[in-house]
């Protein structure tokens, strides 16, 4: 797994490892899934090459704050409403890193 940049992301990219900043962290909303009610939010993830929407769920939301630099592993990219979106896979992880 090699580290990627936002501009290198493509709609079918899997096993993405990427580092950047959470520049916008909207208030989470509640959605009902087959696993019950879950918290979800779409944040703006940014690096030197651009930005992308990143979907966060539940404890991923609590693990970060706006303006934080984060390192993401095990992510994947999917097309959604004519745009691409970064998602963290089941075995993926997001963690705040020190500058």
Q: Domain extents for the chain?
A: 3-96
List, for residues 26-82, the tens digit of each pLDDT value: 999 999 999 999 999 999 999 999 999 999 999 999 989 999 999 999 999 999 888
d(CA 17, CA 53): 15
Burial of 75 (C-beta count, 10 Å sphere; 0-12/13-18/19+): buried
Per the DSSP assignment, residues forming a β-bridge with 45 are: 22, 52
3-96 CATH, one of 3.30.750.24, 2.40.50.140, 3.30.300.350, 2.102.10.10: 2.40.50.140
List, for residues 7-39, the tens digit of each pLDDT value: 999 998 999 999 999 999 999 999 999 999 999
Confidence at residue 46, expressed as pLDDT on a 0 to 100 scale: 98
Confidence at residue 71, expressed as pLDDT on a 0 to 100 scale: 97
């Amino acid at each position: 797994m090699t580290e990627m940049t936002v501009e290198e992301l493509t709609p079918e990219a899997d096993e993405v490892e990427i580092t950047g900043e959470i520049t916008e962290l909207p208030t989470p909303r509640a959605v009902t899934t087959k696993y019950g009610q879950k918290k979800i939010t779409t944040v703006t993830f940014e690096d030197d090459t651009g930005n992308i929407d990143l979907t966060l769920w539940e404890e991923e939301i609590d693990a970060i704050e706006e303006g934080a630099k984060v390192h993401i592993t095990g992510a994947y990219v999917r097309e959604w409403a004519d745009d691409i979106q970064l998602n963290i896979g089941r075995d993926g992880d997001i963690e705040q890193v020190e500058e």
